[in-house]
């Protein structure tokens, strides 16, 4: 079962159980997936594309939570956090910090990266190797500190 099929099955289930928040969240996810499919001119998305859409929505939720906290809107913060949990349920399990560190060190050794000028090359290769199992900001921070640290 593809991720897209699982999302559709969960949407139907949420509608049957009348779980309004889950239905709305998954419905919005499905519409964003349709936009992505149209953009890519394909009928069905592969799992990597679906994960990309989900990550984009997760990032939006995280930014919204920060803004609503600044504005003192706890009701909206709670709603966004619940949506965030629903969306994160579809993402693959995140890689541990030790695993990520090991990959960053290996890529730096292979590419012979030594300064922040090499950050783009290192980031690109690390993101390929992690396969969407890490937050891009976490990867960026780790690569930046690794390149700036010992020098």
- Summarize the confidence of residues 85-108 as an average pLDDT: 82
Domain map of the chain by residue range?
3-88, 97-148
pLDDT at 137: 76
pLDDT at 24: 93
Domains 3-88 and 97-148 share a fold: no
> In whole angstroms, what is the distance from residue 48 CA to residue 56 CA?
12
- Summarize the confidence of residues 137-151 as an average pLDDT: 73
Q: Tens digits of per-residue pLDDT, 3-57?
A: 888 988 999 999 999 989 999 999 999 899 898 888 889 888 887 788 888 888 9
Higher-confidence residue of 126 and 84: namely: 84
Return the CATH fold of 3-88.
Hypothetical Protein Yqey; Chain: A; domain1 (1.10.1510)
| Predicted structure pTM score | 0.69
pLDDT at 134: 74
Whether pLDDT at 92 is above 80: no
pLDDT category at 150 given cuts 50, 70, 90 is: low
Q: What is the mean pLDDT of the chain?
A: 84
Can you spell out the DSSP letters for the chain?
A: --HHHHHHHHHHHHHHTT-HHHHHHHHHHHHHHHHHHHHHT-SS--HHHHHHHHHHHHHHHHHHHHHHHHTT-HHHHHHHHHHHHHHHTTSPPPPPHHHHHHHHHHHHHHHT--SGGGHHHHHHHHHHHHTT-S-HHHHHHHHHHHHHS--
> In whole angstroms, what is the distance from residue 64 CA to residue 22 CA?
18
**CB 40, CB 124: distance < 8 Å:** no
Class of domain 97-148: mainly alpha
């Amino acid at each position: 079962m593809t991720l897209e099929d699982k999302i559709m099955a969960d949407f139907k289930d949420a509608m049957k159980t009348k779980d309004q928040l889950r239905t709305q969240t998954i419905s919005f996810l499905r519409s964003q997936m349709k936009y992505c499919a149209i953009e890519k001119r394909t009928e069905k998305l592969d799992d990597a594309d679906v994960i990309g859409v989900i990550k984009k929505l997760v990032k939006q939720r995280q930014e919204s939570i920060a803004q609503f906290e600044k504005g003192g809107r706890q009701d909206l913060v709670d709603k966004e956090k619940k949506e965030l949990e629903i969306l994160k349920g579809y993402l693959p399990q995140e890689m541990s910090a030790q695993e990520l560190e090991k990959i960053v060190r290996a890529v730096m050794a292979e590419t012979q990266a030594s300064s922040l000028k090499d950050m783009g090359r290192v980031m690109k290769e690390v993101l390929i190797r992690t396969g969407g199992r890490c937050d891009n900001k976490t990867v960026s921070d780790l690569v930046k500190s690794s390149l700036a640290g010992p020098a």
